[in-house]
Amino acid sequence: MVVQSQNPAAAGAHMKTASASGATGAPVLEVRHIEKVYGARANATHALRDVSFTVEQGDFIGIMGASGSGKSTLLNCISTIDSVTSGNVLVHGVDVTRLKAKKLTRFRREQLGFIFQDSNLLDTLTARENIALPLTISRVPAHDVLIRVEEVARRLGIAEVLEKYPYQLSGGQQQRVAAARALVTDPAIIMADEPTGALDSKNARLLLESLETMNERYRATVLMVTHDSFAASYTHRVLFIRDGRIFTELRRGDASRQAFFERIMEIVAMMGGEGSDAL
């Protein structure tokens, strides 16, 4: 079976070769008819209803929706932080909804990188140690750890602050450290949950440009949840979620970021408009 070569243990190494050869083919992520129901019968809440989509290698995808629309639930289900009620999530052809706890942990460690709204750095570690953490957890030799941390920090422009503690960094720097931590393992997908939510516009732009660079220059696959149209305009493709369903999908194509931004705004306005009609 093809799946064998997608063994999560070899995934780190595999990813490098895959991106180096620029291989396309099997989608990085396949979401098939997932449902998520909270609570029991009487007061059951459908957070997700029959959501399906596919992400190819090197995609930069945005997921938009109002709060309560189910976009965070979707991200949690894909990242295996939450379990789905039904449906499948395949990463490189491996169904992660079927994985046992131990393998799940490993999958998360080796295939995913996370960036959260609050940077979620360990306050007791320096920036360098925070970035190194996913590598040391995976028992990468110390020598490689330090080299890779240096490299990713340089790419994100935080090489000078590596010895500082999170509380000594600005919000933007913290977020870039978090991004570096997500990138350092060369994950299959980078999951970003409202990464610009807590940043001012200048720092938000810096972070988004970093993600864009990572995507364009290093072919990293990024999945970003946001309610901010400006942030979404940096992506190639935006999925709009409403009431737990994919409402519509927008592809950027060759349009400029400005044009894409305006089209996103239109959809947002339309979704909001319909909402107000419903009232």
Partner 1 sequence: MLCKIAWGNVRRAGRDYLVYLLTLTLAVTVFYAFNTISLQVDIAGVTKQNAGMGETLGGIISGLTVFLGFVMGFLMVYANNFIMKRRKKEFGLYQVLGMSRGQVARIMTLETFFVSGAALVLGLILGLALSQVMVFFTASLFKTQIADFHFFFSLGAFMMTVGCLVAIFLVTLVFNLRVVRRARIIDLMRASRQNETIKTRNPWISALVFVVGLAAIIVAYVRLLHDGLPYDGQPEAMNDFLITTVTVVAGTILFFFGLSGFLLKALQGVRGLYWRGLNMVTLRQLAAKVNTVSFSMAVIAMILFLAITSVTTGMSLADTMNNTVERGTPVDYTRCLVYWGPSVVDEMNAEADAQAAASAGAPSDAEAVAQRTQAARYAVADGPVDLMAASAGDTIDAGTPEAHSFDLDSITGDYVQVDGYDSIPRDGERPVVTLKDLCDKVGMDLPSGVDASSVDSLGLIVMTESNYNDYLRFRGMAPVELGEDGYTILSDMGATVNDIYNKVLGEGIELEIGGRTLHPAQDRVPEDASTFQNSMMGMNSGTIVLPDDLVASLDLAPYYSYLMVNYADDISTEEGDAYVQEERTFGDILNDAGESVAGWGVEATRTSTYESVDSMNGLISYLAIYIGFVLVVACAAILTIQQLSGVADAMGNYRILSELGTATNEIAHSVLVQQTIFFLFPLVVGIAHAIVALKGIIELVALFGGMSIGGTVGLTTLIFVVAYGGYFCVTYLMSRGMVHEAARARHAA
Question: Could you say which of 42, 43, 123, 202 contacts partner 1 (CB under 8 A)?
Answer: 123
Smallest distance from the beta carbon of 133 to partner 1, in angstroms?
6
The answer to whether 67 contacts partner 1 (rule: CB under 8 A) is no
Stretch that binds partner 1, among 17-25, 123-131, 214-222, 235-243 (CB under 8 A): 123-131
Question: Could you say which of 49, 58, 159, 165 contacts partner 1 (CB under 8 A)?
Answer: 165
Q: Dihedral of the CA atoms 179, 31, 86, 42 (nearest 10)?
A: 70
Q: Structure tokens of 202?
A: 């200048």
Specify the 3-state DSSP secondary structure of 220.
coil
Question: Could you say which of 106, 205, 227, 236 contacts partner 1 (CB under 8 A)?
Answer: 106
Nearer to partner 1 (CB atom), residue 138 or residue 213 = 138
The answer to whether 146 contacts partner 1 (rule: CB under 8 A) is yes
Integer Cα distance of 17 and 240 in angstroms: 33
What's 112's DSSP letter? E
Q: Structure tokens of 101?
A: 């706890």
Number of residues that bind partner 1 (CB under 8 A): 40
Nearer to partner 1 (CB atom), residue 30 or residue 82 = 82
Q: Structure tokens of 52?
A: 């399906």
Q: Which of residues 71-100 bind partner 1 (CB under 8 A)?
A: 72-73, 75-76, 81-82
Integer Cα distance of 53 and 111 in angstroms: 19
Smallest distance from the beta carbon of 165 to partner 1, in angstroms?
7
Integer Cα distance of 65 and 246 in angstroms: 10
237 Cβ partners below 8 Å, 6+ apart? 59, 60, 61, 62, 249, 250, 251, 252
Whose tokens are 């009487």? That residue is 42
The answer to whether 34 contacts partner 1 (rule: CB under 8 A) is no
Question: Could you say which of 41, 100, 139, 202 contacts partner 1 (CB under 8 A)?
Answer: 139
Residue 200 sits at the vertex; the CA angle it makes with 179 and 255, to the nearest 5 degrees, is 75
Nearer to partner 1 (CB atom), residue 109 or residue 252 = 109
Whose tokens are 């750890």? That residue is 145
Chain residues in the site for partner 1 (CB under 8 A)? 72-73, 75-76, 81-82, 102, 105-110, 112, 114, 116, 120-125, 129, 132-139, 141-143, 145-146, 165, 167, 181, 193
